[in-house]
């Protein structure tokens, strides 16, 4: 029997009462929805949330053995104790969680054989399934965080979403001075915006119904899960949760106004870290390395030398080279001799005129940024820029494996390129630089469209047309329709340009349809602009903030509200993508403090 106001829906951000063995008939306990009511089932046993990793038993389904789901609970209030010496890291804005397995210092069994680790390692294998059929069987992770309510730290959980395991790594942890092995899992949290941030428990129940085929159970899954099953890991940039939040300070209060709300530890605020100067103090430091906001923060705060009041470009150029290796599918580490040639020529062409070409400096000194690894140097040379020794030993260097993995996401890559361009390289020919690096297109909203007319483009790279200025999109039925809706008036300045033959406007893709952006050709991805604002939008001189205000990228000053038409809704994800290209994504914006 189910009913009441809760139904079987789990909504992200909702806090549930999760006391053990409570009557599932009761909808609310102590003012919160009863998790056992929401997940009540005639078929499945009552769920458990008492441990960190709580699998529901597998059933024998038509396609094979199928586990309905694994319920994950992160307990930040226990972190730091012998029982739970680790800190899970939640970065829900970027859809990422670092979660530690259940091996403990007092365990004598081999790592990976504890119940939780064994279950998650098995799930990882399913999540890496190569075919859609394999992935359809894969078990969903439902993630909860323990929160304090009613002055008690126990018995309440906040629902955080549905996750897939991207990666697992065996690590060494410390408890009371003793190190012990464990696993650390990198989870991707899926976007549930199509379901209004809700998961229907009926999906999990269907997965636990042996009479239902896996395909039938899949029909009840969230849209992003179905897309992931269909396309696998390649779909991740599309289906990962990316909460778009208003600028800090104006964040609406979610849910109850109760105090004592304790979400899992957020990443340390960059300014706090700088002020206290004790970054190594936080036990999450090594884990936090992975997170997008930390990556951007580090890119923004490179220690660079000043020469005559100008910033040296050695490190930013070497990092752009590192990004280009990931973007072009090459190994993230390269032998010194290759680095010397490639970054050496970048420094010669794009370094400060008075700087010498010394690639050995960024090669070794970038290690302090914690974004960069060097392998193959003896300890006494590990921090010395010694070109002759490097020539002899040929060590390997490049961005770290974790950074490379993050940069595998085109969205993160666009953001990283934007941060480096905007912070260190504003006064050089960015188009020439990015072209040389194989990153052309990252400096324009449109990207590069391969010329379809020119069949010689394989041998003639110039045939690729880089769109760095305004271009007129061929009038399709789609663009004609939006232009008509707006009466050819610019959505930024309302100008309706008259020509000898009537009014004129241009349609601009928000997320360019050319490489590397690969945006969709759809109405929600189009703006109607005058030629001037089209040029500014494409060259990233203006962007649209989360409130719908058009702003200048140079100083964030407002230009005016974006003019909207009720029949022409825009996709916030595309606007966010364009902001990221401008280096003005919400995350970056928040880190800058209230510049606007």
Q: Where does this chain bind Zn ion (CB under 5 A)? A: 490, 492-493, 495, 530, 533
Question: Min. distance of Cβ 67 from Zn ion in angstroms?
Answer: 55
Of residues 374 and 492, the one with the C-beta less far from Zn ion: 492
The DSSP secondary-structure symbol of 152 reads: B
Measured from the CB atom, is 343 or 490 closer to Zn ion? 490
157 or 530: whose CB is closer to Zn ion? 530
In terms of CB distance, is 180 or 504 closer to Zn ion? 504
Q: In whole angstroms, how close is the CB of 171 to Zn ion at the nearest point? A: 53
For Zn ion, the closer of residues 490 and 588 by Cβ is 490
357 vs 495 by CB, closer to Zn ion: 495
Non-local (6+) Cβ contacts of 459 within 8 A are: none
What CA–CA distance (Å, rounded) separates 592 from 425?
A: 18
Alpha-carbon gap, residue 76 to 238, rounded angstroms:
29
| Shortest spacing between CB 244 and Zn ion, in angstroms | 25
Query: Least Å distance between CB 497 and Zn ion?
Result: 9
What does the longest C-alpha to C-alpha distance in the chain come to? 84
Instruction: Provide the minimum distance between the beta carbon of 285 and Zn ion in the complex, in angstroms, as a whole number.
Output: 47
Look at the block and give the residue holding tokens 């910033």: 311
Q: Which residue is at the shortest CB distance from Zn ion?
A: 490
- What H or E segment, with its residue span, contains residue 340? helix 336-350
DSSP-derived 3-state class of residue 160 = strand
Q: How far is Cα 515 from Cα 446, in angstroms, rounded to an integer? A: 8
Shortest distance (Å) from residue 493 CB to Zn ion: 3
Structure tokens at 255: 């849910």
Q: Which of 258, 263, 252 shows the shortest CA–CA distance to 31?
A: 258
Nearer to Zn ion, 428 or 493 (CB): 493
Nearest approach, Cβ of residue 429 and Zn ion (Å):
27
Handedness of CA 141, 147, 150, 154 (dihedral sign): positive
Compare residues 193 and 496 and give the one whose CB is closer to Zn ion. Answer: 496
Pick 282 or 496: Cβ nearer Zn ion: 496
CA geometry: angle 246, 251, 256, nearest 5 deg:
140
CA quadruple 117, 118, 119, 125: dihedral sign? positive
Angle between helices 336-350 and 430-437 (to 10 degrees): 160
Task: Supply the minimum distance, in Å, between the C-beta of residue 505 and Zn ion.
Answer: 9
- Smallest gap from Cβ 508 to Zn ion, in A, equals 11
Report d(CA 590, CA 243) in Å as an integer.
Answer: 14
User: Rounded to whole angstroms, how far apart are CA atoms 591 and 273?
Assistant: 12
A 10 A CB-CB count for 514 gives 21
């Amino acid at each position: 029997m189910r009913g009441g106001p809760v139904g079987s829906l789990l909504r992200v951000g909702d806090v549930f009462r999760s006391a053990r063995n409570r009557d599932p008939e009761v909808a609310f306990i102590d003012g919160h929805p009863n998790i056992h009511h929401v997940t009540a089932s005639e078929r499945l046993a009552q769920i458990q949330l008492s441990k960190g990793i709580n699998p529901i038993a597998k059933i024998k389904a038509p396609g094979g053995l199928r586990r309905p789901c694994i319920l994950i609970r992160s307990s930040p209030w226990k972190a730091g104790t012998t029982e739970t010496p680790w800190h899970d890291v939640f970065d829900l804005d970027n859809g990422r969680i670092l979660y530690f397995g259940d091996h403990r210092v007092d365990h004598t069994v081999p790592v990976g054989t504890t119940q939780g680790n064994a279950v998650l390692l098995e799930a990882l294998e399913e999540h890496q399934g190569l075919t859609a059929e394999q992935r359809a069987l894969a078990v969903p992770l439902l993630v909860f965080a323990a929160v304090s309510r009613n002055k008690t730290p126990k018995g309440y959980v906040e629902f955080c979403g549905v996750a897939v395991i991207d990666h697992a790594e065996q690590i060494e942890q410390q408890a009371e001075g003793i190190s012990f092995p464990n696993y650390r899992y990198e989870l991707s949290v899926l976007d549930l915006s199509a379901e209004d941030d809700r998961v229907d428990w009926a999906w999990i129940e269907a997965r636990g119904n042996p009479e239902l085929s896996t395909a039938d159970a899949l029909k009840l899954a969230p849209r992003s899960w179905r897309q992931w099953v269909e396309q696998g890991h390649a779909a991740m940039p599309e289906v990962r949760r990316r909460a778009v939040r208003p600028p800090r300070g104006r964040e609406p209060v979610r849910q109850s106004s109760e105090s004592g709300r304790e979400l899992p530890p957020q990443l340390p605020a960059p300014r706090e870290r700088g002020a206290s100067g004790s970054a190594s103090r936080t036990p999450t430091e090594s884990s936090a390395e992975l997170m997008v906001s930390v990556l951007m923060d580090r890119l923004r705060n490179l220690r660079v030398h000043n020469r005559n009041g100008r910033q040296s470009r050695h490190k930013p150029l070497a990092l752009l080279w590192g990004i280009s290796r990931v973007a072009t599918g090459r190994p993230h580490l390269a032998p010194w001799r290759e680095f010397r040639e490639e970054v050496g020529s970048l420094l010669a062409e794009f370094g400060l005129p008075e700087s010498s070409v010394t690639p050995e400096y960024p090669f070794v000194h970038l290690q302090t940024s914690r974004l960069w690894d060097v392998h193959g140097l003896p300890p006494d040379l590990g921090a010395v820029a010694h070109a002759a020794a490097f020539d002899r030993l040929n060590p390997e260097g490049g961005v770290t494996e974790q950074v490379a993995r993050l940069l595998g996401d085109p969205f993160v890559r666009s953001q990283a390129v934007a941060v480096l361009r905007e912070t260190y390289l504003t006064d050089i020919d960015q188009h020439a630089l990015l072209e040389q690096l194989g990153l052309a297109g990252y400096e324009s909203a449109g990207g590069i469209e391969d010329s379809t007319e020119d069949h010689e483009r394989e041998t003639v790279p110039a045939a690729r047309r880089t769109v760095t200025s305004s271009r007129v999109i061929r009038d399709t039925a789609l663009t004609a329709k939006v232009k008509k809706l707006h009466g050819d008036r610019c959505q930024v300045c309302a100008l309706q340009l008259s020509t000898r033959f009537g009014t004129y406007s241009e349609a601009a893709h928000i997320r360019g349809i050319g490489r590397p952006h690969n945006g969709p050709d759809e109405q929600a991805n189009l703006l109607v602009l005058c030629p001037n604002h089209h040029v500014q939008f494409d060259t990233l001189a203006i962007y649209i903030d989360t409130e719908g205000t058009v702003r200048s990228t140079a100083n964030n000053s407002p230009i005016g509200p974006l003019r909207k038409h009720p029949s022409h809704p825009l996709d916030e994800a595309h606007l966010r993508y364009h902001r990221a290209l401008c280096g003005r994504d919400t995350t970056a914006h928040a880190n800058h403090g209230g510049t606007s």
